[in-house]
Structure 1
Amino acid sequence: DIPEKYAILSHKWGAEEVTFKDLTDGTSKGKAGHGKIQFCAEQARRDGLQYFWVDTCCIDKSNAVELQEAINSMFRWYRDATKCYVYLPDVSRPRTNSADGFDKLWASTFQESEWFRRGWTLQELIAPASVDFFSTE
């Protein structure tokens, strides 16, 4: 069953993402991608949401039928989410004392994120009703 209200994570996959298998066998905490899942859980809790969905670990990629079904319904997952969290690990706060300088540097850094170079991000940007962007800071 799909929960009525949930958050969803939009992110660029890395080398050590947590998979469905990692969650079921208890090895997820040893992977670099665990931090994104922890971030999503904490942010969803702050937003009053009990559930969150992360593609890397919520889809059992060893099951071809489930994988194909998930790929075909990704737009719906993002559209039906209460909140979409875009995780940008390659964006950091500009170091400047000037407010005008900060805005220009921030816009430049933000727009250069790898997230904007992925094909999937268009649907992840336009489908949800609410999209919030987060850096690692």
Structure 2
Amino acid sequence: MRLLKSKDNGDFSLIEFVDNETPQYAILSHTWGVDNKEVTFKDIIKGTGKSKAGYTKIRFCGKQAAKNGLLYFWVDTCCINKSSSAELTEAINSMFRLYQDTAKCYVYLSDVLDNSSVGEDQFSQRWKPAFRKSRWFTRSWTL
């Protein structure tokens, strides 16, 4: 299993674990954006992808994991090497186990308001309708 770990400089590294030595980890449930906006396995390896929209949700997951005392986390867009059909097939077939074995699961709702972008009053009035209409509820199957 390949997990992400935050570096001191704000980047991420991929660490490979054998099943019996996999540490506790967090996992991210999210909807995918446009393919060229998601951070991929290759982006993490090359240290690129910071300008992609998908980097925000990876940072979110890393920060939440750290808040919960977890060093490692898993995000499907960049922990799976999709250029390997064997690895992709194995990941799809073991998805249930990946979510079942996680210490924490975070949900990233990219289409729900962030309260830092609006005032507190506006946020409290607008988040519930946005939450109910989130694309995640129609696309996600992990929880």
TM range (shorter): 0.7 to 0.9
Correspondence 1:38-117 to 2 at 5 A: 38-92=59-113, 102=124, 106-117=127-138
1:32 aligned partner: 53
2:31 aligned partner: 12
Kindly provide the amino acid, as one letter, of the partner of residue 138 in structure 2.
R
Q: Relative to total residues, which structure has the larger strand share, 1 or 2?
A: 2
**What do the CA deviations read for 1:111-132 (whole angstroms, capped 9, x no partner)?**
21000111xx23x21xxxxxxx
Q: CA deviation at 1:9?
A: 0.4
The percentage of aligned residue pairs carrying the same residue is 56
Q: For the residues of structure 2 that align with 1:95 and 1:32, how far apart are their CA atoms?
A: 23
**What do the CA deviations read for 1:11-40 (whole angstroms, capped 9, x no partner)?**
111120000011111212121211111111
With over 3 angstroms needed to count, the CA separation of the structure-2 counterparts of 1:95 and 1:59, relative to structure 1, is: same
Q: CA deviation at 1:95?
A: 6.9
Give structure 1 stretches of 5+ with no counterpart: 126-137
Q: CA deviation at 1:108?
A: 2.8
1:129 aligned partner: none
Kindly provide the amino acid, as one letter, of the partner of residue 44 in structure 1.
A
2:12 aligned partner: none
Aligned residues: 118
TM-score (norm 2): 0.74
Give structure 2 stretches of 5+ with no counterpart: 1-17
1:132 aligned partner: none
Q: For the residues of structure 2 that align with 1:13 and 1:82, how far apart are their CA atoms?
A: 22
Q: Give the match's secondary structure for 1:14.
A: coil
